[in-house]
Amino acid sequence: MTDVGTLDYIWLGIQAVFLGPEAFSIFGLSISITVLMVAFGLILGIIVGATPGLGGVIAMAISLPILISIFGFNSDALLPVLGFLIGVMKGSTVGGAVPAILFNTPGTPDAFMTTLDGYPMAQSGKAQKALKISHFSSVSGDTFSDIVLIVCAPFLAILVEAYLDLPEKTALLILSLSFIAAVVGGSAAKGLLSCGLGLLAVFIGTGEDFYPRLSLGTAALSDGIPITAAVIGILVIGAIFTELENLWHQTRNTGKIEIAKDVGDQRLHWADIKRILPYIWRSAAIGTSIGALPGIGSTLAATIGYATGKRFYARQKTPEDPNFGEGAPEGIAATEAANSSVSGANLIPVLSLGIPGNTAAVFLILAADSIGGFNPGPAVFKFSTDLNPELVVAFGLFTTMILANFLNWTIGGVFMRSLGFLVRIPKQYLLPVVLLLTLASLYVQETAMSAIWFAFGFGVLGYFMRLFGISPLPFVIGFVLGGRLEETARQAFSATGGDPFFLLKSPIAAVFILSAVAIIFFSLRKPKAAKL
């Protein structure tokens, strides 16, 4: 057998996507299932992003069990399923701008800043142009961040494998959890609480002893809490309850939606692109830098991108140009490029460190865990001369991202601009249906009524967490990483001969631990504005 080099891995990844099992052929050209699934995922993502009340997370939660039922638990399933989820992730980011621009209703939280200039543009008869600017900026930002991901993730992973041993990896996990707890949401204390509850939940019914710990002697807890039930309960069902409550409060004062008619030239000219490009690149760089840090969401990127663009615009604009917030195309570009460039960069910590930085990454890890054969983390990027199948999957994943961007550039914009009608679906009908669909999907995956009870219970917990202003994201990331943290700590403790100070003996591990403490300490001194 010949040795496998770096270029061979890249080529094998591309081949795995385009020359995998065939779905159908057009004029003799074979279309693989993975290509088809990326396209389906993108279309579904744009639809759910454009539907207020839904979003990429709900779509991923519902689709995952269906996809696993279709493709089964084998390595051939990895790229179609992960490609579909990548498509949903990218599509929902683009789709979120549709209701924000047309109806002043952000489809996703990170599209809020898009309403500030998008809706005034739509009201002044430039809705189609605003949608085109939003699409162009969003896909540009996303493409930029994917390039950064593809270039950086393998190098970061190689560095991690070369320099970090078990104690350092344990310390890095603790640092990541502290960082996520400190930066997500409006309060470090609440982030830490959310993370602590997630860790506690994942430790119930697990462990190495014969007796399942913290199970209170009950059969229900002795098998542990299914990860999908906890994640879907806290993230999806909790959000559905919160949204339903808003509707309950609004029942008596829902107004009729008025749509302004488009007037004048709606095309996106080269002159328009030249005007918005500096805003796009600046925001894409901001979004990518923010996205590379685990836990910092696209909402913060959108806010900083918008604020930076606004300062730059104030110096550049002519007196007759509209201000930011009054229908400036540059405002849409600055926001959309920033929030979209987070999604690719968010996968840097997942692929290089195995640490999920956002909810989409959590679902990618869930999918990889469920199917098997691919464990996101530094070990993936072992460029061994004997074939490393995980590395082929990683390059296949990069290929699906480039493919999703290509589809987004070509058909995404047209499709996105045709979805304005989705905002008319009454959310009070949609959300309970989505709840039942989510519970059914969960059951299909877990085949246990206890999973439905757990998910519903975690949904109620997620609802109360939101009422207290506690972000559910640290809970989910704590839950996902808790098992690995314990396993790594056990191995590190044994490897150091039972040294109780194993986390402080190596300089790198000590720096990580001290940084974790410092992050929490300094975030306590400076309370932040609430952000998702």
Work out the widest C-alpha separation in the chain, in whole angstroms: 75
Residues 92-151 that bind another protein (CB under 8 A): none
CB of 520 to another protein, least distance (A): 7
Q: Which of 490, 495, 501, 505 binds another protein (CB under 8 A)?
A: 490
Q: Which stretch binds another protein (CB under 8 A): 119-127, 206-214, 267-275, 366-374?
A: 206-214
Number of residues engaging another protein in binding (CB under 8 A): 72
| Chosen residue from 464, 501, 505, 514 binding another protein by CB under 8 A | 464
Q: By CB under 8 A, is residue 477 in contact with another protein?
A: no
Query: Quick check: 44 binds another protein (CB under 8 A)?
Result: no
* Alpha-carbon span 278 to 282, nearest angstrom: 6
Q: Tell me: does residue 518 bind another protein (CB under 8 A).
A: no
Measured between alpha carbons, how far apart are the two ends of the chain, in Å?
Answer: 51
The distance of closest approach from Cβ of residue 517 to another protein in the complex, given in angstroms and rounded to an integer, is 10
439 binding another protein? (CB under 8 A): yes
Helix (H) or strand (E) holding 25: strand 22-26
In terms of residues, how long is the chain? 532
Q: Is 443 exposed, middle or buried (0-12, 13-18, 19+ CB in 10 A)?
A: middle
Mind giving me the DSSP string for 189-237?
Answer: HHHHHHHHHHHHHHHTT-SSSSS-TT-TT-HHHHT---HHHHHIIIIII
Contact between 501 and another protein by CB under 8 A: the answer reads no
Nearer to another protein, 92 or 438 (CB): 438
Applying the rule CB under 8 A, the residues between 391 and 430 that interact with another protein are 428-429
- By the 10 Å C-beta count (0-12 exposed, 13-18 middle, 19+ buried), 507 is classed as exposed
What is the SS3 string spanning 106-168?
A: CCCHHHHHHHHHHHHHHHCCCHHHHHHHHHHHHHHHHHHHHHHHHHHHHHHHHHHHHHCCHHH
Nearest to another protein of 372, 527 (CB atom) = 527
**Does 522 sit near another protein (CB under 8 A)?**
no
Cβ distance to another protein smaller for residue 317 or 531: 531
Site for another protein in 337-366 (CB under 8 A): none
Minimum Å gap between C-beta 202 and another protein is: 9
Distance, CA of 260 to CA of 268 (rounded, Å) = 19
**493 scored as a contact of another protein (CB under 8 A):** yes
Closest CB 523 distance from another protein, rounded Å: 9
CB of 294 to another protein, least distance (A): 17
In whole angstroms, the minimum distance from the beta carbon of 280 to another protein comes to 34
Classify the C-alpha dihedral 5-6-10-16 as positive or negative.
positive
User: What is the distance between the alpha carbons of residues 330 and 35, in angstroms, rounded to a whole number?
Assistant: 34
Interactions with another protein, residue window 172-191 (CB under 8 A): 181, 186-190
